[in-house]
Amino acid sequence: SLLYPYGPHQGDETNPKHDDGTSEEISLSVPFTFYGKTYQTVFVNNNGVISFDEPVRQYTPDPFPLVDGHPFVAPYWADVDNVLGGDIFYRQTTDLALLENISQDINQYFPKKTFTATWALVVTWDRVAYYGSTSEKGNTFQAVLTTDSKMFYTIFNYWDIQWTTGAASDGDAETGLGGTPAHVGFNSGDDTNFYNIPGSQTDAIINITTTSNVKVPGRWVFQVDDFQ
């Protein structure tokens, strides 16, 4: 599997079952630098977003750059409803075996830099349903924030994507398609700097398990401290 290990047996926390819900504020044991600014806290938001400093409850994605100034990472911003199905897990980790795997992956994709991860935040959306769903469809994807305290990376892993849109975003309740599809990318919070993964907010985003910027279908990796 593309996904790094996750779940309660890995020591993960689990988000509450709450539509448009969020984790409690997570104090980072290692500060994380994103687009040149360093943050001490994040929120894991049910709707496919990891946000810095404050939660994001919005369920229909907007195009980047957002004018509201919220800096966040969006592995799959869409109207998740974990009451109807699925779980959202997260943990901060310094597990040496996992960090070695992450380091090997990043060094393979970015061979001109030497990276030795010392910390990671692993967030996994496991078979999550969409708002208004009348189907059994679920999405499984993961985002990893990691650093060696000099360079800061984000890894997006897509294992199984079956829907793009919740019913309140004009999606079809039976298929989870149509309307305003999911958005994937990065919003710096400064009105200027952002990145949209190709296919975002189009029907094509359902194919993200087959696309990549590192020649591994379903995986996207970015250096995000000074975004590249």
User: Beta strands of the chain (E only): which ranges?
Assistant: 13-14, 26-34, 37-45, 49-52, 72-77, 87-93, 119-128, 139-147, 152-160, 183-187, 194-196, 219-223
Residue 89 identity (one-letter amino acid) = F
The greatest distance separating any two alpha carbons of the chain, rounded to the nearest whole angstrom, comes to 48
Q: Is the pLDDT of residue 168 over 90?
A: yes
H-assigned helices in the chain = 96-109
pTM for the model stands at 0.97
Span 65-123, pLDDT tens digits:
998 889 999 999 999 999 999 999 999 999 999 999 999 999 999 999 999 999 999 99
Q: Quote the mean pLDDT of the chain.
A: 97
Q: How confident is the model at residue 227 (pLDDT cuts 50, 70, 90)?
A: confident
Q: Is the pLDDT of residue 228 over 80?
A: no
